[in-house]
Structures are given as structure tokens and as C-alpha cells.
Amino acid sequence: MKKFNSLLIASAFAAGIFYSCDNASVAPEIEPISAEVLGQIKSMGFSTEGAIKFESGYLVENDIYLTDHDLKEMKTGDRLPILEQYSTNNLVCGPRNITVYAPVGGRNGYSAGMIAGLDLAISRYNAQNLSITFSRISSSSGADIVMTRLSKRDERRGVLGSAGFPTNGCDPYGQIKMSGILESSYGLSTGGIATIIAHEMGHCIGFRHTDFFDRSISCGGSTANEGDGGVGANHIPGTPTGASASAKSWMLACTDGGDRPFNNDDRTALNYLY
């Protein structure tokens, strides 16, 4: 099965999947990032492979949103040992219910199918009996995480979503930018949509990519160590060493669009942190 980035379908590898590419000169709309910024991203320990300009910053590791401000604030990353599940240094302080808002319907809202995916993602977390729970609310005011549509341009060029990591004040990252066309254009099932949304929620509460040490495990291509990115990549005790694509962790860097409910190691990691 062809693979595509969990957040960027239209990468160099995957451009053929969603572009009707009869003309080989058709290329994704990727603006170049300056060598200086690429150097900063790399020095922090993030992979620059596939990094793109996004909103008012950059998307790295497929779906981590960094601004110039973040690049200034973060410290230089370290190379890390090869182990399985990883968290950032900052985590959400529990017990806590995390409220999530997503607009429903209309040009700037989500279809019923997308909302069903969000609700399934929430119920998957809540079924784990963690010290944090999630609930969807119908107003953006007071929501801990607001999920809004990507720009039409980013949806068209194949970005699936973006998120960030918890704050140093115990709060989850407050914004998920999510494509609204996972069902309508890519034909993903409710479980596939839930997997991608649960993945972004995972970043918001401090999960890094399961295969951050070598994202070629899920993404294909060349071996690429994402490093600790200056935000920490702490091995979660009780999870085995070495990731594999066949284990289908929901936090693998790339997805094939299929359904990845929490596996046993994912549950161990969730229970350890929360």
C-alpha cells in the first residue's frame, strides 16, 4: 500500500497519489525555506526533510507547527537513543477534562463525517480511563483546543493537519488545524479520520512520533532522525524498544489512511503519562 504523510499527503514521495499526474512537470506548491531557517530547524534536532512553509511559520516532522518565535525560544536539540514511545518535557497536568471545539457545517466548518471522526477520537481516549478526558463542546469560547479548517490552499496541496506541544503552564496545545476533506476528497473511513485527529490530539498532550528516531519506518524514504527538537523526547517506561510500521501505533509519523486504534504499547504509554 502506498504511504502518505500523516499531515502532508502531497510530499515528494506521494505527489502521484492525489495529483492526476499525466504531466510530469506538475509539482506540489512548495515554497522554499531559507537555508538559515533550515539550519535552525536542524540544529534543534528536527528533520528538515519535507519541511514546508505553513501559515506564519513552518511545518516540520509532517505536522508540527513552528513559528519564527518558536525557533528563537527552543534550545538546541540532542541526538537520542533508539527506543519506542516518547513524550515532550511539558505535559498536561491532570486530572483534567480537556474541551474541544470544532465548527460544524458550512464552508468553514466540518462535515458530519469529520465530526464523527472527532467524536470517535475523543471516545477512544476516554475509554482508556486516564487522568485526562476530552469532551466536545459547541462553543469556541473557553475551549481548550479549537480545531479549525486549514486554508483552502493547504487542503488542496494535501496538508492533513497540524498541532503543537503542551505549554510550560500545564495546558494542552490549543489549536489543531485540520483538513476538512479527509472524507470527501480522500475517502477515509470514520476510523481513519479518527486516527488522524487522535494523532493531532496526541501531540497536543505531549506525544512525539513513535518512530521519531527514524521516520522512514512509517514514511518510507531515507533514514531520518527527528531528534528531540528542543522540546524533549523522553522514553516512556514499559514500552518496547524499536518501532515498526506493522505495530500501527497511532503516533507513527506517517499514515496509510487506515484505522489505527490504540495498540497495547500505545495504551501503556497513555497510562504511564496520564
Closer to Zn ion at the Cβ: 89 or 104? 89
Peptide bond into 261 cis (omega under 30): no
Cβ-based neighbours of 260, under 8 Å, separated by 6 or more? 195, 248, 249, 250, 252
H helix and E strand count, the chain? 8, 12
Question: CA torsion sign, 234 to 72 to 53 to 221?
Answer: negative
Closer to Zn ion at the Cβ: 63 or 144? 63
Residue nearest to Zn ion (CB): 63
266 binds Zn ion (CB under 5 A): no
Pick the piece of the chain touching Zn ion (CB under 5 A) from 59-67, 82-90, 132-140, 265-273.
59-67
Please provide residue 132's backbone torsions phi and psi, each rounded to the nearest 5 degrees.
-115, 145
CA atoms within 13 A on the CB side of 157: 15
Closer to Zn ion at the Cβ: 138 or 231? 231
Q: How many residues bind Zn ion (CB under 5 A)?
A: 1
Minimum distance from residue 251 beta carbon to Zn ion (Å)? 7
49 binds Zn ion (CB under 5 A): no
When binding is defined by CB under 5 A, the residue of 15, 51, 59, 63 that contacts Zn ion is 63
84 binds Zn ion (CB under 5 A): no
Closer to Zn ion at the Cβ: 108 or 203? 203
Closer to Zn ion at the Cβ: 63 or 154? 63
CA distance 86 to 82: 10
3-state helix/strand/coil string of 239-264:
CCCCCCHHHCCCCCCEECCCCCCCCH
The residues binding Zn ion (CB under 5 A) are 63
